[in-house]
Amino acid sequence: MDLVKIFLLALLVNNVVVMRFLALCSYVGMTSDVGQSVGMGFAVTFVTVLATAATWPIYHFVLVPLNLTFLQILIFILVIASLVQLVEFYLKKNVPGLYSAMGIYLPLITTNCAILAITFENISFKYTFIQSISYSVGGSLGYLLAMVLLAGIRDRIRTSPVPKFLEGTPILFIATALIGIAFMGFSGLIK
């Protein structure tokens, strides 16, 4: 499989949010404002790529030779959690501008399941290192795309008449179902 194919597959055909149901908590919680959703999307992209670059070598060069693959869940979540901490410290000290834009989202990212799922799948799909990076960039940009789409739709919903029984959160899921139907059109994109 070539890299572009993996990238498009992760970005559109198997979009993390609307097709795979990952990271729904932040998808519902962080999309009340377009700017906020973009910030969160980029923070997730950044951490996902870093996490892939860290967990792939750990799995293949440490866990496999030592026969410790059953510790995968434990090790991966710890690596991601400490990585998020490190990134937070680094940004706070050296890039305060970026920190103030992205900082508040970082602690939330530790329990974002899209990141953990992407790092797991890089292993279970037996991707090489480069393919893994391509998959994680595609997947997390797919997350960003879905976040921005829903944030835009929420802006419109606020001024539209919504059926009474769907007011509040239910309408968000109905809207997501409609986005999902649109995304299913991509399924013929890659053979």
Binding site for another protein (CB under 8 A): 18-25, 28-29, 70-74, 77-78, 81, 110-113, 116-117, 120-121, 124, 165-166, 168-174, 176-181, 184
Q: In angstroms, give the least distance from the CB of 129 to another protein.
A: 20
Place of tokens 């997947």: 139
Nearer to another protein, 101 or 190 (CB): 190
Q: In angstroms, give the least distance from the CB of 97 to another protein.
A: 27
Listed in sequence order, the residues at least 6 apart from 124 whose beta carbon sits closer than 8 Å to its beta carbon are none
Nearer to another protein, 102 or 123 (CB): 123
Whole-number Å distance between alpha carbons of 139 and 76:
18
- Half-sphere exposure in the Cβ direction for 3 (13 Å, CA): 9
Which two three-digit tokens encode residue 82? 């400490």
Q: In angstroms, give the least distance from the CB of 114 to another protein.
A: 9
Nearer to another protein, 144 or 175 (CB): 175
Note whether 54 and 76 are within 8 A (CB).
Answer: no
User: If residue 81 lies in a helix (H) or strand (E), which one and from where to where?
Assistant: helix 72-94
Q: In angstroms, give the least distance from the CB of 184 to another protein.
A: 7
Q: In angstroms, give the least distance from the CB of 73 to another protein.
A: 5
Name the nearest CA neighbour of 6 among 132, 184, 135, 139.
135
Nearer to another protein, 3 or 111 (CB): 111
Burial of 159 (0-12, 13-18, 19+ CB in 10 A): exposed
Whole-number Å distance between alpha carbons of 177 and 17:
11
Nearer to another protein, 124 or 159 (CB): 124
